[in-house]
Homo-oligomer: A and B are copies of this chain.
Amino acid sequence: MITIKDVAKEAGVSVATVSRVLNNKGGAKPETITHVENVIKKLNYKPNKIAKSLSEGSSNLIALLVPTLNNPFFPELVREIEKVANENGYNVYLCNSDDDRMKVEYYLESMIDHYVSGAIINSLHVDASDLAELEKRGIRTITIDRANFEHPYSAITVDHTLGAQLAVTHLIRDEKCNNIVFISGPKNEKSAIDRLTGFTLALNEAGHPVKTHICYGDFGTASGYENTKALIQNGHSFDSIFCANDAMAIGAMRACHEFGIKVPSEVKIVGYDNISLASYMYPTLSSVDQCKEDIGRLAVNELIQLIKNPKNKQKQYELEPKLVIRNSSTINGGSINE
């Protein structure tokens, strides 16, 4: 391993000088700078980030805590965040909690251990006191969605009330549905509550009575499948399903297929997340787009601001989702796909 000392010796200067040119601190003669730079190139020297972190008391690591990698939404989000982080010279420390409090705790400690300089958190199992603990340790935080609690730190949410409202209004107004099943996420979750609010809003706006049924899934494909299957087997009739995410919508669609229920002519389905696979489903899946790209970019940028400028005030952002209508919810576009 070749160190700053080797460079200093080879260049005939002190390590301080090398450090200066390395970090563009200025205060060195132009010719010294170019000379040192040449030596660095010649020796193919790479500064040791661990030593740098220790010395500076912070790293270039950003922790990213996600609840799962099973739901394609998260890999897609991870990818986006990683991209923006890298663009800014940060590395991502991916923490997949599998929605398990034990693993969350493990990773929260691990973030501290690794001197991460900031954390992007998306988990049901993190509460305000966890965030406080991180902040106390100098780790800036920003939560993304799925937070079911109030806290004073930076946060990005998507307006789930609006998202649900868009989806349900589409079903009622455009598609004349009047018997809607809502497969929600876990009851205790803010996004589930918000979406329920949006659901209700859309019903009220309808101007006429609409039958509804609400059941609760866990955002996994299997739970969308099982819930739908149970409804069908119990003889529950419905003309549409709105799912709190695409994974569950895929499960719901699967159940319909298995029972010979035609989508969209007999039952219309709308999901949430707009994962990239949505447009490859059969039929293609209508979905509420959460703008992963915007979330990712915003999260990283905001976090970097906080890291670089510890006095910056935390901000809360709320993004607007968009409805993407495909064949699972509309007969007009669905001729080939049925």
Contacts and interface: CB of A to CB of B under 8 A. Distances in A.
Most chain B CB within a 10 A radius of its CB, from A48, A49, A82, A280: A280
A277 interface: yes
A282 B253 contact: yes
A254 interface: yes
A1 B103 CA distance: 22
List the 3 closest A-B pairs by CB distance, nearest first: A49-B113, A69-B75, A94-B94
Interface residues of A, number: 53
B336 A257 contact: yes
Per DSSP, chain A at the interface is helix
Nearest to A138: B1
Contacts of A26: none
A50 B50 CA distance: 6
Interface in A33-82: 46-51, 53-54, 59, 69-70, 72, 74-76, 78-79, 82
A272 interface: no
A321 interface: no
A225 B276 CA distance: 13
Contacts of A79: 69-70, 96, 98
A31 interface: no
Contact of A69 (B76, B137, B225): B76
Contacts of A251: 280
Contacts of A280: 221, 225, 250-251, 253-254
Interface stretch (A14-22, A85-93, A147-155, A301-309): A85-93
Contacts of A50: 50, 53-54, 59, 113-115
A277 B258 contact: no
Interface string A190-223: 0000000000000000000000000000000100
Nearest to A115: B50
Contacts of A98: 79
Contacts of A316: none
Interface stretch (A104-112, A120-128, A174-182, A234-242): A104-112
A260 interface: yes
Nearest to A113: B49
Interface in A117-142: 137-138
A324 to B, nearest CB: 16
B260 A49 contact: no
A336 B110 contact: no
A50 B225 CA distance: 45
Nearest to A93: B93
